[in-house]
Amino acid sequence: TAPSCTLVIFGAAGDLTKRLLMPALYNLASEGLLAEGFSVVGVDRAALDRDGWARGLTATMNSFTEDPTAEFYTPQLDAASWGFVESRLDYLQGDFTDAALFGHLKERLGGGNVIFYLAVASRFVGDLVDRLGTAGLLDQSAGGFRRLVVEKPFGSDLPSAQALNRRILRQAQEEQVFRIDHFLGKETVQSIMAVRFANGMFEPTWRREYIDHVQITAAETVGVEERGAFYETTGALRDMVPNHLFTLLCMVAMDPPNSFAAEDVRTEKFRLLQAIRPVPPEDAVRGQYTAGEEVGHPVPAYRDEHGVDPASATETYVAMKLRIENWRWAGVPFYLRTGKRLTGRRTEISVHFRPAPYRLFRDTPADHTTPNVVRLLIDPERGFETQFDAKLPGPSMRLGRVCTRMRYDDFFEQKPSVGYETLLYDCMRGDATLFQRADAIEAAWAAVQPVLDDWGGRTDAGATYAAGSEGPAAADALLARDGRSWLPLH
């Protein structure tokens, strides 16, 4: 069970709270991991009271029993577990810019353990932390812990991230700051460390001598949904690359940490991010979707989505080539791509090995140059696949590609989860392993800063791609330039 604490959620009436935080708390309650003394205070401008807020959350929780295909589905809402959370909810209406709000909060909280969860847009974070600090709410001298959870994107480029880190660290110690990236809450992402560092058979080949290149993909079929206004100023690069995709990159490419202590793991991630050569603009491709189809239904162009400028230059797709300048990876390109409205939903890492040193089977048409691919399947398929060549049946010696696939669900029973369970639980226990340290956040922004600078002044949409396609042709050209190609998305 986690230590007793109060979770204060700023942005309590928002989407994150009802879609992710509440289901995560419910799942923690059903595992018996929340302390009896646990409580939640929701803070938001919305004109609600405790009962109104709780009623809305209960309605959303009930809706999770309706759609078995939804990302979070539970056949039945366990009344005792939801009751545990629901009975501990409280609501405080107020404006984050109003100093009086923080006075009320202070009275209500007293001296116990508190986690302040900032489920608010990045531009509000600095002010909010200043006000918490000024009100004395981050002071731990009375004995109770005071922690801050900050959502991504953390800043919007290197200078703003540096400024935000400086500002937060004037009010709190680094140990009090938990910068969240929900990809680290995914079992399959955490498992990459297990696969690499608990087995003797992978790590010896996990380096430049054996690996040709690595592809990291986070393809989505959805468009911008109701988030047009947020996405317009964010775009695919800021939304996904220095955070989620770099998280996957760290997992697959970092050196083995000395131990699994938070600082050892975070230090290795930082070292890896620091080794990325800042990406030159010619190694990055941006794209925007035009009208097309999603599973047989016509869908509009990005520029026609709700909340989007009809002349928008915001990218909904990004691909880039990364070079990592260290001994393990020198000369091994890492190709990253992510986008909305692509033909398949797939988050995965594929590690493409070099061909065998000598081609013994000369009569076999070489339809593939690197037959050995290891695929780490993150979402929605979750597993591990290896591809290699075997002999085709018949009198002559000819080769054919085969694969073995492990699916997590075949081996381990998994309860439905939203990915925030472990992260919230770790924050309550004070384990920062799965959270981003200030230096890593800044190293990540530094790597993509030349691209941000180059794209900043653009007024055109860049390369376009039809909704429901594999992405822009320019992304294929990025790999073709090096004599390589993406794994297909469909």
Task: State which residue, 379 or 439, has the beta carbon closest to ligand BG6.
Answer: 379
Rule CB under 6 A: choose which of 220, 305, 348, 470 binds ligand BG6.
220
Instruction: For the CB of residue 264, give the shortest distance to ligand BG6 in the complex, in Å.
Output: 26
Which residues define the annotated binding site for substrate?
182, 186, 220, 239, 340
Instruction: For the CB of residue 128, give the shortest distance to ligand BG6 in the complex, in Å.
Output: 20
DSSP annotation of 469: B
Binders of ligand BG6 in range 383-442 (CB under 6 A): none
Task: State which residue, 197 or 230, has the beta carbon closest to ligand BG6.
Answer: 230
22 to each of 16, 19, 131, 259, 421, how far by Cα in Å? 9, 7, 26, 33, 10
Listed in order, strand segments (DSSP E) in 345-483 are 346-353, 373-379, 383-391, 399-407, 463-466
Binders of ligand BG6 in range 223-262 (CB under 6 A): 239
- How many Å is the Cα radius of gyration of the chain? 24
Rounded-to-integer distance, Cα 310 and Cα 294, Å: 21
The token pair that represents 218 in the structure block:
């986070």
Instruction: For the CB of residue 340, give the shortest distance to ligand BG6 in the complex, in Å.
Output: 7
DSSP annotation of 342: B
Specify whether the CB–CB gap between 341 and 292 falls below 8 A.
yes
Size of the site for ligand BG6 (CB under 6 A): 4
Alpha helix (H) residue ranges in 280-433: 408-411, 420-429
Element (H, E) at 382: none
DSSP annotation of 243: I
Binders of ligand BG6 in range 106-165 (CB under 6 A): none
Q: Are strands 211-219 and 399-407 parallel, antiparallel or unpaired?
A: unpaired
Angle at 39 between CA 34 and CA 45, to 5 degrees: 135
Rule CB under 6 A: choose which of 379, 389, 431, 454 binds ligand BG6.
379
Task: State which residue, 211 or 248, has the beta carbon closest to ligand BG6.
Answer: 248
Binders of ligand BG6 in range 188-217 (CB under 6 A): none
Instruction: For the CB of residue 222, give the shortest distance to ligand BG6 in the complex, in Å.
Output: 7
Q: Which residue has the CB atom at the shortest distance from ligand BG6? A: 239
Task: State which residue, 157 or 379, has the beta carbon closest to ligand BG6.
Answer: 379
Is 244 noted as a catalytic residue in this protein? yes
Instruction: For the CB of residue 317, give the shortest distance to ligand BG6 in the complex, in Å.
Output: 12
Decide: is 90 part of the binding site for ligand BG6 (CB under 6 A).
no
Task: State which residue, 44 or 220, has the beta carbon closest to ligand BG6.
Answer: 220
Rounded-to-integer distance, Cα 45 and Cα 329, Å: 49
Which residues define the annotated binding site?
45, 95-96, 152, 182, 186, 220, 239, 340
Which residues define the annotated binding site for NADP(+)?
45, 95-96, 152
Which among 244, 297, 352, 368 is annotated as catalytic? Answer: 244
Rounded-to-integer distance, Cα 376 and Cα 192, Å: 8
Q: Which residues are catalytic?
A: 244
Question: Which chain residues interact with ligand BG6 by CB under 6 A?
Answer: 220, 239, 347, 379
